Amino acid sequence: MCLAFFCPAASLRAQGWTRTAGCAIMGYKKTLSIVRGLSRIEFIMSAATPVNNPEEPFVEAFGGWQERSILIVDDEPGMRSFLQRTLVGRCSRVETVESVEAANVLLGQYHFDLIILDNSLPGKSGVDWLQEIRELGLHNDVVLITAFADLETAIRALRAGAADFLLKPFRVNQILSAIGRCFDRAHLRRENFILRRELDTHVDLAGVDGLIGASAALQPIREAIKRLATVPSTVLITGESGTGKEIAARAMHNLSNRSGNHFVPVNCGAVAPEIIESELFGHVKGAFSGAASSREGLFFYAQGGTLFLDEVAELPLTMQVKLLRVLEEKKIRPVGAEREIPVDVRVIAATNRNVEEAVQEGRFRQDLYYRLNVVQLHMPPLRERTEDIPALAEYFVRQLAHQLGVVAKKPDNNLFAALANYSWPGNVRELRNLIERWLILGNISDVTAATNTGTATTNGDVTLEAVEKQHILKILAEVDGNKTEAGRRLGISRKTLERKCAEWGV
């Protein structure tokens, strides 16, 4: 369903009709005001007479429609043939059917970006069928076409979720413009959704692959990303928290043939178990208490692109079963829906846990592990690529100085020496947070004091786990046990911190 509402008067005028005093349709002007939340839409239905406006050239936005698919539902062979000939050279897939029954079959097999739907169909009107598929959880954009325009049909089309409305007969540029508007709105809607999520997570990348540094440990990762970007296989990225698993996943997406569509990340551990299914697959109106309207899930926004499932090992077992089916069948079922919806989404998963151990303990399904682990990419911890610390530190200084509005100071050798002697339990994320504190406090000694614990303990016969535990407990003590603040300082998630505390009995 598009964000924009349909205005019959504007649509009629766009088709080359103008208002006159003598009304051939109703004989008078009607104005209907509909208030939906904060939206007030005024419809003006009046007489129409054709005018001879010159046809304007049609321009396809956002790089054309080569990857788009359209379903045409019309019982007139001539109209189906006309639309197919018009669109087949512009879109990747154009299917035509003469009934809603045949359309239901195709919708169960393929994903369609747009449906061109005739309202006058045998047995069931187009508007009635549109209402049915909306209730089933299908959110395909729909352009309704009809030879009979009246106020009641326009209102019903709007309420059913039609994106546009065309009166037969129409010219080629008119149907192309209507389709273009739908594709543009869908593109902007997805883009707006993704950009808002990225702003919330403060995503920032450096270069095409987003990886900073030239260490020997990083080179195999770069080569693997380039190879994996050329194939659609599912990838499981492993590594400690803060090592850049999402950056690696983004790099695979940006270098792939899906880069023209969206990369949608979701932290499975940060979503409550009772709503994770709705978050991923969407839901229909009335599916559960509080579901006042239908809502698309993240698979919808990732259509044609990549869905990144971070902390996938945190998914509840019931959700793991449903995710496995989606990976195998390439179809999703919104919560409360009666039918499945085909999707074209590449899934990349990541975890900082030992998944094989979780499988043995029964906390993660073995079949899902094998399905996700087609190819595994392990991200090295920062302590194994300390030669990249200067490049990372300088990059974070430039980035954070601009964000904080402070002077971009150049790190000196004393700072680099302190950073190199630290064990980095929070990895690159912790380094970024430490550089931010250094820029704010403006004193190198504050940073070296923060690393003294790691430096002193690593000189003796102390395990890395002990160093990590000592440092985390020190940070927790400094923030009076506030795990959210401690996680922010350490560069790890609250859930990871809680798990470590539970292991230590703290």
- Asked if residue 489 has pLDDT above 70, the reply is yes
pTM of the model: 0.62
What is the C-alpha to C-alpha distance for residues 55 and 171, in angstroms, rounded to an integer?
A: 9
271: DSSP letter? S
Q: Give the pLDDT confidence of 225-267 residue by residue, as tens digits.
A: 999 999 999 999 999 998 999 999 999 999 999 988 889 999 9
pLDDT tops 90 at residue 362: yes
Q: How far is CA 291 from the centre of its chain?
A: 21
Q: What is the rounded CA–CA span in Å between residue 50 and residue 30?
A: 20
Task: Supply the mean pLDDT for the chain.
Answer: 79
CB 46 within 8 A of CB 23: yes
Q: Which residues of 27-64 are buried (b: 16+ CB within 10 A; e: fewer)?
A: eeeeeeeeeeeeeeeebbbbbbeeeeeeeeeeeeeeee
Identify the DSSP state of 262: -
**How far, in Å, CA of 244 to CA of 248, rounded?**
6
Q: Which residues face 31 on adjacent strands?
A: 44
8 A C-beta contact, residue 127 and residue 144: yes
210-222 confidence digits (pLDDT tens): 788 889 999 999 9
Q: Is the peptide bond before 381 cis (omega within 30 degrees of 0)?
A: no
Q: Which of 145, 147, 155, 135 is nearest to 114 (CA)?
A: 145
Confidence tier at 201 by pLDDT (50, 70, 90): low
SS3 labels along 125-179: CHHHHHHHHHHCCCCCEEEEEECCCCHHHHHHHHHHCCCEEEECCCCHHHHHHHH
Give the residue, 59 or 474, on which the prediction is more confident.
474
329: confidence class by pLDDT, cuts 50, 70, 90: very high
> Rounded mean pLDDT of 112-116?
92
Longest dimension (CA), the chain: 96
Q: Distance between CA atoms of 423 and 377, rounded to whole angstroms?
A: 22
For residue range 370-400, list pLDDT tens digits in order: 999 999 999 999 989 989 988 998 888 888 8
